[in-house]
């Protein structure tokens, strides 16, 4: 219905004592007129009785159809029709509702029943066929799958229990994606080495990991990944991040020497070694990738703090969220998602700051670091008209640097700190390592890269710490690009492999007494074949590029510190493990050894 109407004044007049000039427009405000409390008692109350004549007084009628000569012509007809139609409509409506209730209660259409049953049957058949020959596993809920049951704490133990129930290879779904748990080294090798052509890509849908390293060498797919990886491999090798080269090892030895000086200054008092190791790894990474001018320690430090915060948010329940529905309808409801987005934006701003500096100071005749190398390669390809130049974007560089810088500091420091924790937990192993260092290296000089192949027991100790480590228990790794089989089970296209390091590294068929800490298992003798090395850095073409860089730092820091100090846990009354060791804290007492 209209709430107002318009009329033009054809000549000047007055209304309510006011002059109304010719040409003015009069607005009939039905809404306010029909709610005038001076005319209608209780105007906001629905009360038909107000229009019945009482006390010989006729009440004001509504002016819905206008008044005077301009009133609606069919007003009387409309009112008469309404008076006839409304009673019939109300009666028929009541009769129809009664019939509908009766029909719903006592009868259903055979066609409706048939369609419903057919749809249900088709759904069941589709689900059965879709699950045909897949690895066994828990079913979960429609679409959400097992995701509502994924715990952020100790989910690796749940996976271990499922392995015991369903077998080495089992499956589960999460937000529409199928995950294939690979719980043995044999299963991982079959997928990522023997059948690497079937498992070459990272997850194609949206997920938090690929979003964090977007378009970088770690999470790109197809030709962009092949081109970027082929470029970075020789560059990283040359700069010493695949394996430490003598020409690039000066910064590493300097950092180790300064670490020894820092520990001596503590004089056996408790301190947090995580802070020291993070600082040293920051300096090593900066000098290795960027030299003296490409980045500052402060930029790397700020980035590493943000990276650590981001990794802490990537909990299991977040890692298994994939696809548009999860991106737009689940993650925004999680309290830590906005914090993650803000945190990642700050990380990117730091990297863009570094990239912008390089752009403004770039000289193709004076290549200073890895960023300049990237710009030079891009320009060369552009000049040649090489179509692959389009893959050398700022976005790809940011994604790559996120991994190189983040893992090059945070992951390396975390690994080193965990080996220190094991040294304190197994003091007898610490003494075995010390004796080997004294015999092979002596006490007159610090261990060097050349000593690595000779320090057999130290290398075995490092491998054993990796085997029992708890910093990489599992990892949603690669996507199946074409249907294949694993362990006799059908693996459909789009399935995601889950590298289950925790269960694979505790496989009793591979490791004798797997729950026992025993570095000797990795030493081959005439009577015993050494056991499988851990696969903490992954296997195949998608394995971590910085494995050699990490291993060399772990070796040199560990060898040099054990050569000079005996590490112990602080003697704290009523101490618990959490007080002594967390992701950002490891309390240590470093006692200087007597050289005699």
The enclosing H or E element of 476 equals: strand 474-479
Q: Which residues contact 37 (CB under 8 A, 6 or more apart)?
A: 43
Q: Which residues pair with 405 in a beta bridge?
A: none
CA dihedral defined by 181, 185, 187, 191, rounded to 10 degrees? 90
Q: Where are the beta strands (DSSP E) in 38-135?
A: none
Q: Where are the beta strands (DSSP E) in 153-307?
A: 169-174, 177-182, 271-272
Q: Which residues contact 240 (CB under 8 A, 6 or more apart)?
A: 247, 248, 249, 288, 549
Number of separate helices (H) and strands (E) present in the chain: 21, 14
Q: Which residues pair with 386 in a beta bridge?
A: none
Place of tokens 């967390």: 582
Distance CA 295, CA 289 (A): 9
* C-beta of residue 150 within 8 angstroms of C-beta of residue 174: yes
Distance CA 304, CA 410 (A): 6
* C-beta of residue 397 within 8 angstroms of C-beta of residue 408: no
DSSP secondary structure string for all residues of 524-564 = --SS-PPPPPP-TT--GGGS-TTHHHHHHHHHHHHHHHHHH
The enclosing H or E element of 509 equals: none
Structure tokens at 495: 């399935």
| 544 in a known ligand binding site | yes
* C-beta of residue 408 within 8 angstroms of C-beta of residue 553: no
Q: Which residues contact 187 (CB under 8 A, 6 or more apart)?
A: 168, 169, 486, 487, 504
Distance CA 507, CA 497 (A): 18
For the annotated binding site for heme, the residues are 544
For the annotated binding site, the residues are 544
């Amino acid at each position: 219905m209209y709430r107002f109407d318009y009329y033009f004044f054809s000549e000047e007049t007055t209304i309510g004592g006011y002059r109304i000039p010719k040409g003015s427009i009069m607005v009939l405000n039905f809404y306010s007129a029909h709610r005038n409390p001076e005319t209608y008692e209780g105007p906001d109350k629905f009360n038909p009785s107000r229009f019945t004549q009482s006390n010989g007084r006729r009440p004001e009628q509504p002016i819905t159809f206008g008044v005077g000569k301009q009133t609606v012509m069919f007003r009387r007809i409309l009112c008469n029709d309404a008076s006839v139609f409304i009673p019939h409509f109300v009666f028929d409506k009541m009769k129809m509702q009664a019939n509908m209730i009766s029909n719903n209660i006592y009868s259903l259409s055979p066609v409706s029943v048939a369609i419903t049953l057919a749809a249900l049957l088709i759904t069941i058949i589709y689900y059965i066929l879709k699950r045909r020959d897949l690895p066994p596993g828990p079913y979960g809920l429609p679409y959400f799958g097992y995701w509502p049951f994924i715990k952020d704490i100790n989910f690796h133990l749940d996976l271990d229990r499922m392995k015991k129930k369903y077998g080495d290879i089992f499956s589960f779904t999460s937000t529409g994606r199928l995950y294939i748990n690979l719980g043995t080294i044999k299963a991982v090798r079959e997928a990522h080495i023997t059948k690497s052509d079937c498992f070459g890509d990272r997850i194609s849908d949206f997920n938090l990991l690929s979003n964090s390293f977007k378009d970088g060498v770690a999470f790109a797919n197809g030709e962009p990944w092949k081109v970027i990886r082929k470029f970075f491999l020789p560059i990283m090798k040359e700069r010493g991040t695949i394996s430490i080269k003598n020409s690039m090892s000066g910064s590493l030895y300097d950092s180790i020497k300064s670490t020894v000086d820092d520990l001596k200054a503590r004089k056996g008092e408790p301190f947090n070694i995580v802070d020291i190791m993070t600082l040293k790894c920051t300096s090593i990474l900066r000098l290795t990738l960027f030299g003296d001018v490409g980045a500052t320690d402060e930029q790397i430090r700020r980035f590493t703090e943000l990276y650590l915060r981001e990794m802490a948010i990537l909990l299991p329940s977040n890692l298994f969220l994939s696809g548009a529905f999860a991106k737009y309808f689940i993650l925004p409801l999680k309290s830590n998602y906005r914090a993650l987005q803000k945190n990642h934006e700050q990380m990117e701003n730091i990297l863009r700051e570094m990239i912008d500096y390089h752009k403004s100071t770039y000289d193709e005749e004076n290549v200073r670091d890895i960023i300049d190398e990237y710009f030079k390669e891009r320009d060369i390809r552009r000049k040649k008209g090489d179509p692959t130049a389009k893959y050398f974007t700022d976005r790809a560089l940011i994604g790559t640097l996120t991994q190189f810088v983040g893992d090059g500091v945070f992951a390396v420091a975390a690994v080193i700190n965990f080996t220190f924790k094991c040294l304190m937990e197994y003091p007898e192993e610490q003494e075995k390592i010390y004796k080997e260092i004294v015999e092979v290296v002596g006490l007159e000089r610090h261990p060097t890269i050349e000593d690595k192949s000779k320090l057999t027991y130290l290398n075995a100790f490092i491998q054993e710490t990796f085997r029992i480590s708890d910093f990489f228990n599992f990892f949603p790794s690669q996507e199946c690009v074409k249907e294949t089989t694993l362990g006799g089970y059908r693996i459909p296209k789009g399935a995601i492999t889950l590298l289950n390091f925790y269960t694979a590294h505790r496989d009793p068929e591979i490791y004798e007494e797997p729950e026992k800490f025993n570095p000797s298992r990795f030493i081959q003798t005439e009577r015993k074949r050494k056991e499988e090395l851990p696969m903490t850095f992954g296997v195949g073409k998608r394995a971590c590029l910085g494995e050699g860089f990490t291993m060399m730092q772990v070796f040199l820091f560990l060898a040099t510190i054990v050569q000079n100090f005996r590490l112990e846990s602080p003697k704290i009354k009523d101490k618990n493990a959490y007080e002594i060791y967390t992701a950002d804290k490891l309390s240590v007492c470093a006692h200087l050894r007597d050289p005699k």
